[in-house]
């Protein structure tokens, strides 16, 4: 299972921050900053894993609706939508693209009050080229 994750946050089309997580280490950099801030991922809990990360959307998959099922080359694909309520956040709508043949989540789109997020996964079963910033890796003792 992958142990690394990198993402960018933006608001109104403008970059807010970059984050890279590898195992138990996390590096974050706000827009316009050159230095990365190193820290322990998740406050010292278990290391990052894709399975653990994807657990946040499990409460919403109770009533999935199949939007489309189609083929891409030899692979069977499906688009699924589901919705649920999150206390303090309101209704959350998810659209999930799944590679049914290989049992992989390809994309998750989330829409809720004043929040929109898209996550895309690529290149499975291969080492990912996500690396921590070199200058901070040395300073953090990694």
| C-beta of residue 76 within 8 angstroms of C-beta of residue 101 | yes
Mean pLDDT value across residues 39-53: 75
- 8-35 CB burial, b ≥16 within 10 A, e <16: eeeeeeeeeebbbbbeebbbebeeeeee
**Each residue's pLDDT tens digit, 48-66:** 776 676 677 677 666 888 9
Residues with Cβ within 8 Å of 97's Cβ and at least 6 positions away in sequence, in order, are 77, 78, 79, 80, 105, 106, 107, 108
Least confident of 53-62, 75-84, 107-116: 53-62
Number of independent structural domains in the chain: 1
Structural domain containing residue 88: 4-122+129-139
Residue scoring higher pLDDT (45 or 26): 26
């Amino acid at each position: 299972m992958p142990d690394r994750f990198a993402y960018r946050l933006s608001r109104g089309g403008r970059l807010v921050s970059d984050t890279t997580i590898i195992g138990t280490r996390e590096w974050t950099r706000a827009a316009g900053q050159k230095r990365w801030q190193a820290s322990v991922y998740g406050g010292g809990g278990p290391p990052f894993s894709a399975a653990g990360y994807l657990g946040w959307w499990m409460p919403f998959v109770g009533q999935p609706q199949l939007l489309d099922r189609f083929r891409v080359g030899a692979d069977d694909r499906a688009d699924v939508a589901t919705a649920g309520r999150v206390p303090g956040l309101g209704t959350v709508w998810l659209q999930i693209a799944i590679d049914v043949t290989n049992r992989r989540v390809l994309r998750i789109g989330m829409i809720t009050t004043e929040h929109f997020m898209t996550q895309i996964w690529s290149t499975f079963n291969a080492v990912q080229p996500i690396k921590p910033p070199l200058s901070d890796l040395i300073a953090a003792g990694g």
